[in-house]
Amino acid sequence: MLTINIILLISLFFGNIFNTPIADKKEIESNLDSWNEFDLQNPEELGNYFEGDLINPKFGRNGLVDTASRWNKGIIPYEISRNFQTQDKNVILQAMNVYSKYTCISFRPKTPDDKDYISITNYNNGCWSQVGRQGKKQEVNLQSPQCTKKLGTSLHELMHAAGFLHEQNRNERDDFVTIKWDNIKDDRERNFDKAEEGYEQGFGVPYDFVSVMHYSSYAFSSNGERTIITKDPKNLDKIGQRRGFSIGDIMKINAMYDCPEKTQQLNLTGDIIETLTNNNGNQKEQERNTLWEAVNNFFSIFDE
Ligand SMILES: [Zn+2]
């Protein structure tokens, strides 16, 4: 009996750290409901998982050092929920295409022979992923339409699945950014813990303000003020972008997956590879919202 109690206690403890406590699901839902693409925070920064959007992370920072968490030959088999609208699914598939074009990670639909694979889900509880290959099935959640609004959110969560953590938590980050602790929500300070020296693997890429893995300046703000500012003001508006991979992201992925030559072959210039999402998709999105509002208005008659 005692053993069972201990196991129960342990699972409750880890359940609270790594999974969503039931009370907090409401918080995520309401955060995501009120989010729109012009918000200063990214939707993956609205979760109350570890660092906002990580499920059950192993120790390490930036790129996981543990090679066991990498995907064999950079191939990530996937399945995707039928519960996505076509335009939202297209954004995710487009993100996968960007991986194939610029990195030696590729995604392909899973076959019955694939033991390890990601399952892309559309649960109503935010944008989140595990970090690196876990073995067997692992979920990457992209709640639509919030997490599929910007291509970079799909790139971000898939990059967690590939084995990367958040850029601003690198060990040397204090040389580049200042964390404004007073502006962070009371119970979210640990999202800004930095890596211990020696635990991180930046693959030789310097601190990258434009990484798709960098928090926005307002991440986990309690008061609408910035929680991260850059030492050099000219970098301030760069952090938190979700328009596309940075050159640094591409270099890191290709270094982790042993194909640094791929980066050289691409002959990249600038600092971000911007990939615009398809205009027809956006137009459909607006039409869908209008229809949704009409349906809501119709039913609200009965609420009065
Ligand atoms: Zn993240």
- Centre of ligand 1 to C-alpha 292, Å, is 30
Distance between Cα 10 and ligand 1 center (Å): 26
At residue 122, the pLDDT reads 97
Distance 295 CA to ligand 1 centre (A): 34
Identify how many contiguous H helices and E strands the chain contains and give both numbers: 7, 9
Active site residue 157: yes
For residue 200, the model assigns a pLDDT of: 57
* H/E element, 162: helix 151-162
Could you tell me the sign of the dihedral formed by the alpha carbons of 125, 56, 195, 61, in that order?
Answer: negative
How far is ligand 1, taken at its centre, from the CA of residue 302, in Å? 40
Å from CA of 250 to ligand 1 middle: 16
Task: Tell me which residue of 194, 200, 234, 232 sits closest to 215, measured CA to CA.
Answer: 194
Residue type, 18: F
- pLDDT per residue of the chain (304 residues) written in tens, 0 to 9: 455 454 444 444 444 444 444 447 888 888 888 888 888 899 989 888 888 898 876 655 467 777 788 999 999 999 999 999 999 999 999 999 999 999 999 999 999 999 999 999 999 999 999 999 999 999 999 999 999 999 999 999 999 999 998 999 988 999 999 999 999 999 999 999 987 776 657 889 999 999 999 999 999 999 999 999 999 999 999 999 999 999 999 999 999 999 999 999 998 888 999 876 654 444 333 333 444 444 444 444 444 3
| Catalytic option among 44, 45, 157, 200 | 157
Judge whether 214 is annotated as a binding position. Answer: no
d(CA 107, CA 161): 12
Residue 166 known to bind ligand: yes
pTM, rounded to two decimals: 0.82
State the CB neighbour count (10 A cutoff) for residue 7: 10
